Amino acid sequence: MILTLTPNPSIDRTVALDGELCRGQVQRVTGVTAQAGGKGVNISRAAAVAGLPTMAVVPAEPEDPFVLELRAAGIDCLPVHPAGDVRVNLTITEPDGTTTKLNSPGARVGPEHLEVMAEAVLERAADAAWTVLAGSLPAGAPAGFYADLVTRLRQHGARVAVDTSEAPLRALVDAMPAAAPDLMKPNGEELASILGGDPEVLESDPAAAAEAAHGLLARGVGAVLATLGGNGAVLVTAEGAWHASPPPTTVVSTVGAGDCSLFGYLLGDVTGLPAPDRLALAVAYGSAAASLPGTTIPAADQLRTELVGVTAIGGTK
């Protein structure tokens, strides 16, 4: 089972334009979609589509349409007492795949709301192959919430993956090695923010990204899956480093592509694939998701894993 926590879930509304976004002008919309989302929720969606057992922990009322939508999609959803209504995020996509996101902060939480979420995860982590902590934190949450929860999960012997950014990411790194997860999924910009370097260089140079990722392994992280946008992804473990280039992809929407990449890696892990094949599956999932509208999760027949090129990266330690 893949257990996910999305502490700051959202209703993701996607608006597709018929041309380039122009500020201050009236534009035509070619389509509007809305979906219960958030990073952890997207990973649970991908697991459900792949037929892998999952449970999504989210702060929402049991009869909230958000929860009902997830259950209708076949996702085992565990709602915990929320601080308020689920927030709404707006994504604007242009025909060339350019994506603009407008994310609202959501309801402000107190310590009691955070502890309810943490206890729900801790009680179920023993039954999970992976526990995934993903996304931003809600207003009022301390930046160290993920770091504290990873430390508690490690004391329970759970395998933990974390995908977050900004202050929660920095707090997680500052709390290592006690808070070092088994897997992290930063992008180039996030790698640069915590380890230094030029984010554009890290996005464009897989060897540089791998070298930076080794800085996280030195702090106790088990593996780093660094997504590099159109340049694929890099995987760094204690056994080696690899770069995977994506298949030719017409980008429609990048929303949720990173979440699908992370799920692809987890799927490869639970099915026993070796590291290079886990990376290939991650990139296949991410590129397939980017070719679909909104936050659509790709099905197995939409993956082009055989077109993903994986090469070992030399010169790293």
CA 173 to chain centre: 17
Yes or no: say if 277 and 268 are a contact pair by the CB < 8 Å rule: yes
Inter-residue contact 1 to 55 (CB < 8 Å)? yes
Residue 296 · residue 288 · CB < 8 Å: no
Structure tokens at 248: 């030719």
Contact 209, 226 (CB under 8 A): yes
CA distance 248 to 221: 32
Write down the catalytic residue from 259, 269, 277, 301: 259
Omega cis (within 30) before 177: yes
Q: Which residues, other chains included, contact 9 with Cβ-Cβ below 8 Å and sequence gap of 6+?
A: 36, 37, 38, 40, 41, 58, 59, 60, 66, 86, 87, 135
| Geometric angle at alpha carbon 50, from 49 and 54, rounded to 5° | 80
259 is catalytic: yes
Q: Fill in the DSSP letter of residue 6.
A: -
Catalytic positions, written as ranges: 259
